[in-house]
Amino acid sequence: MIKPILKVLSGEQLETPPVWFMRQAGRHLPEYKKLRTQAKDFIDFCFQPEMAAEATLQPIRRYKMDAAILFADILLIPIGLGRKVTFVPGTGPVLDPLKVTDVEKLELEGAADRISNVFETVKRVSQELDDQTTLIGFCGGPWTVATYMIEGKGSSGKEVAKRFAMQNPKEMEMLLNKLADASADYLIGQAKAGAEVLKIFESWAEGLSPAMFETCVTKPTVRMIERVRSAGIKQPIIGFPRGAGLNMLSFAQQVDVTGLAIGTDTSLTMARDMLGDQLPLQGNLDPLALRIGGSVLKRAVQKVLDDARGPHIFNLGHGVAPDVKIKNVEAVLAHIRTGKGDYV
Ligand code: CP3
């Protein structure tokens, strides 16, 4: 029997769309918070296959989501390339800001091997899943990971990274190519370990000129996927150029993705009109509606269901926030699966 998410990614439209949520494993779950206290820090958590596999499976047990997403982070790749990354509670990721002269020193050789504990997590989870639940592996998009490496932290405008790209195009190209190659090897390792779908999180695709989008997002992503495919990996790939706006069109035309994840800021109806009724789409419930709950959430869920047309995987437009109520996640799933949810 083919798993529902794989059916959708092969172009089938299902009456009841399969559903999973970005950041479904995380701080809105008490069992996650409990498990988290056993790790020294977040990175230690990601590199311990037993704990990471458990965190991956928690939302499957609680909600019967249609997909399990590997518990890891997009910022493990810089570690593989030899950079220092820490997660500071309350602040988020902190990295040594990458200088122009650091780019050639990044250790591409063996980068994926240095973070290969993650493959063991994939292997363990894949042994636990039933014949309905799909295991999704992932990496960050080269541009998004580059912004964290250059800025040294999350930032709103990405000005430091954009200046780096505009003033040092050669070094930026080398950085993006190294990220594309290391990430491809990382996806290949995940696919060989049992990941059935691969997703590329380009979370900071917003606010780029079309020319910069082309050089910093499209080109390195094409390179990454070519490397994955030339290794013989056949798994479907979901692209998520979050906030790309109209650049989404050139992304969809040039990047050989199987499906596209749509962020909150893009209308599913417009995405369908632009990209066609055949392309599998994923998304795009507003995460704020999930936090608010009640009739606001009910209406928002129904609108996504009504707008989706064609092959569709229900998801959020971005991640689950820590203050989301478990009852509301359950209500969304019941609404999608039975037509009726008890929203609170
Ligand atoms: O449930 C899942 O989605 C699976 C695992 C997953 C995590 N991060 C776990 C995580 C995935 C797929 C990611 C991707 C990720 N990481 C992205 C792309 C998706 C997006 O949200 O745009 C980005 C930009 C990151 C980088 C990152 N990781 C930041 C900025 C932060 C700090 C902010 C925050 O939300 O805490 C993280 C930490 C992180 N990654 C946590 C989790 C569960 C929280 C860490 C903790 O428990 O303390």
Instruction: Please identify, in words, the CATH class of the domain defined by 4-338.
Output: alpha beta
Confidence band, pLDDT 50/70/90 cuts, at residue 57: very high
Mean pLDDT for the stretch of residues 31-53: 97
Q: What are the pLDDT digits (tens) for 143-166? A: 999 999 999 999 989 999 999 999
Report CA(295)–ligand 1 centroid distance (Å). Answer: 28
Any ligand 1 atom below 6 A from CB of 92: yes
Confidence band, pLDDT 50/70/90 cuts, at residue 134: very high
pLDDT at residue 319, as a whole number: 97
Nearest CA to ligand 1 atom 34: 92
Is the CB of residue 333 less than 8 Å from the CB of residue 296? no
- Atom of ligand 1 at shortest distance to CA of 144? 24
Mean pLDDT for the stretch of residues 73-84: 98
- Hey, where are the domains in the chain? 4-338
Any ligand 1 atom below 6 A from CB of 69: yes
CA distance 287 to 323: 11
Nearest CA to ligand 1 atom 1: 23
pLDDT at residue 71, as a whole number: 98
CB atoms within 10 A of CB 104: 10
pLDDT at residue 68, as a whole number: 98
- Atom of ligand 1 at shortest distance to CA of 203? 22
Instruction: Give me 108's structure tokens.
Output: 């591409």
Report CA(286)–ligand 1 centroid distance (Å). Answer: 17
- Give me the chain's average pLDDT, please: 97
Is the CB of residue 200 less than 8 Å from the CB of residue 243? no
Side chain identity, residue 25: A
Mean pLDDT for the stretch of residues 272-298: 97
Report CA(26)–ligand 1 centroid distance (Å). Answer: 8
- Atom of ligand 1 at shortest distance to CA of 22? 3
Mean pLDDT for the stretch of residues 44-64: 98
Any ligand 1 atom below 6 A from CB of 281: no
Confidence band, pLDDT 50/70/90 cuts, at residue 227: very high
pLDDT at residue 96, as a whole number: 96
Q: What are the pLDDT digits (tens) for 162-205? A: 999 999 999 999 999 999 999 999 999 999 999 999 999 999 99
pLDDT at residue 105, as a whole number: 98
Any ligand 1 atom below 6 A from CB of 75: yes
Instruction: Give me 298's structure tokens.
Output: 């009910």
Nearest CA to ligand 1 atom 4: 71
Residue among 57, 73, 23, 41 at smallest CA distance from 186: 73
Nearest CA to ligand 1 atom 35: 92
User: What percent of the chain clears pLDDT 90, i.e. is strictly above it?
Assistant: 99
Confidence band, pLDDT 50/70/90 cuts, at residue 303: very high
Any ligand 1 atom below 6 A from CB of 42: yes
Task: Report, as residue numbers or ranges, the catalytic residues.
Answer: 23, 27, 36, 73, 148
Any ligand 1 atom below 6 A from CB of 154: yes
Any ligand 1 atom below 6 A from CB of 243: no
Any ligand 1 atom below 6 A from CB of 21: no
Q: Is the pTM of this model over 0.85?
A: yes
Residue of 19, 20, 23, 60 best suited for mutating to test ligand 1, as the one with most atoms within 8 Å of CB: 23
